[in-house]
């Protein structure tokens, strides 16, 4: 849409079709969001535009009936930021309370919060802070928001495993690389701090036997229930992946070692006490490692896998850290073929 005075060309005029083409060319949430916010900041009276992820403070995924003061937020795609209450963000808090700030003596100042739907129950909001916006620009903003929302949904679905709805293997590789890069960039300034990031690999015990006895359909049902229990019992900000087959991965950011152990042990007990389709009881084994910025992603995965194999080799249905495993094992233990079934 052009400005009212079409005789004057301005390089800052919001593009139409060209912008839509550029937006559809983006292949990840970050680049799409940066482009979207950059265009919003070109509105003459715009002061700030930000996109936030919304989470339930108690970790639930269902937002129905949840009061606003029980929700926590963080900037979109900033997995390393610990979510904070709405009240920590003045603009969001003002929108919730229905109050507005003033900017200068003569110019009204607006703070507007617009919902952005997401796949798999995700909730996001766009916060605009601006002086009074011309109606023509409002139409442009609403059009941009509609295109942005649709593209976000497409990217959300691309990131997900088709069966379980959890994040997929490709997304895991991308997230892990970005988290390690984050720590490398922060190491020389802040150090690791109290909260670290942790990688845990979870594997359903005796899954091959279940598949042989009950078949693929029942196994798919088991995987679906397992995934829903992961979503219900881990924090809404934890990153949950289906890594492949019956193997799952959790990345816990901004967490202490005690918090990681408690979370994994709690989930292990949940699985042990849950009834699955056609199966009375299942158990799960897990191996975990602290993410180190000096290591390659493949090394971290290998260490978590080694801890998982150790848990399998020593009775299953347990949680083992790579650090603990290294202290308990001076040398690799030789296991003859047929002595134990790891999976």
Residues 121 and 217 in one domain: no
In this structure, are 238 and 316 located in the same domain?
yes
Question: Does 337 fall in a domain?
Answer: no
What range defines the domain where residue 45 resides? 17-158
Domain count, the chain: 2
Q: Is 18 a catalytic residue?
A: no
For residues 200 and 111, state if they share a domain.
Answer: no
The CATH code of the domain that includes 181 is 3.30.70.270
Report the DSSP beta bridge partners of residue 158: none
pLDDT at 166: 95
Low-confidence ranges of the chain (pLDDT < 70): 1-16, 59-65, 77, 90-109, 187-195, 330-343
Q: Quick check: is 12 in a domain?
A: no
Is 259 inside a domain boundary?
yes
**Do 120 and 211 share a domain, yes or no?**
no
pLDDT of residue 342: 47
Evaluate the CA torsion angle 52, 53, 56, 61 in order and state its sign: positive
* pLDDT tens digit sequence for 181-201: 888 877 645 544 456 899 999
- pLDDT score, position 183: 84
CATH number at residue 77: 3.30.450
Q: Which residues of 271-309 are buried (b: 16+ CB within 10 A; e: fewer)?
A: beeeebeebeebebbbbbbbbbeeeebeebbebbbbbbb
| Domain assignment present for 67 | yes
Set 53, 159, 231, 246: catalytic member: 246
Cα gap 162→139, rounded to integer Å: 36
> What's the confidence (pLDDT) of residue 106?
40
Q: From CA 103, how far away is CA 310, in angstroms rounded?
A: 61
């Amino acid at each position: 849409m052009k400005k009212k005075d079409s005789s004057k060309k301005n390089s800052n005029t919001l593009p139409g079709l060209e912008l839509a083409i550029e937006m559809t060319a983006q292949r990840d949430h970050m680049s799409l969001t940066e482009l979207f916010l950059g265009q919003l900041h070109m509105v003459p009276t715009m002061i700030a535009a930000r996109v936030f992820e919304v989470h339930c403070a108690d970790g639930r995924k269902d937002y129905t009936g949840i009061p606003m003061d029980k929700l926590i937020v963080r900037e979109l795609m900033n997995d390393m930021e610990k979510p904070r209450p709405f009240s920590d963000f003045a603009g969001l808090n003002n929108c919730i309370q229905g109050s507005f700030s003033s900017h200068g003596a003569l110019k009204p100042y607006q703070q507007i919060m617009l919902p952005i739907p997401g796949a798999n129950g995700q909730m996001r909001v766009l916060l605009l802070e601006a002086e009074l916006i011309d109606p023509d620009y409002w139409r442009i903003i609403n059009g941009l928001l509609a295109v942005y929302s649709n593209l976000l949904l497409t990217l959300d679905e691309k990131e997900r495993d088709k069966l379980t709805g959890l994040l997929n293997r490709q997304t895991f590789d991308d997230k892990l690389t970005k988290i390690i890069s984050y720590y490398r960039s922060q190491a020389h300034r802040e150090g690791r701090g109290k909260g670290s990031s942790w990688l845990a690999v979870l594997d359903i015990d005796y899954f091959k036997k279940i598949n042989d006895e009950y078949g693929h359909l029942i196994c798919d049902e088991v995987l679906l229930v397992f995934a829903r229990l992961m979503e219900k019992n881990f924090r809404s900000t934890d990153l949950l992946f289906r890594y492949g087959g019956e193997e799952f991965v959790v990345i816990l950011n901004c967490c202490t070692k005690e918090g990681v152990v408690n979370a994994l042990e709690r989930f292990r007990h949940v699985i042990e006490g849950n009834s699955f389709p056609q199966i009375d009881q299942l158990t799960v084994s897990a191996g975990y490692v602290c993410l180190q910025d000096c290591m390659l992603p493949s090394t971290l995965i290998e260490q978590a896998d080694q801890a998982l194999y150790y848990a399998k080799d020593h009775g299953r249905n347990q949680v083992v850290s790579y650090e603990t495993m290294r202290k308990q094992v001076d040398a690799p233990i030789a296991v003859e073929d047929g002595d134990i079934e790891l999976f």
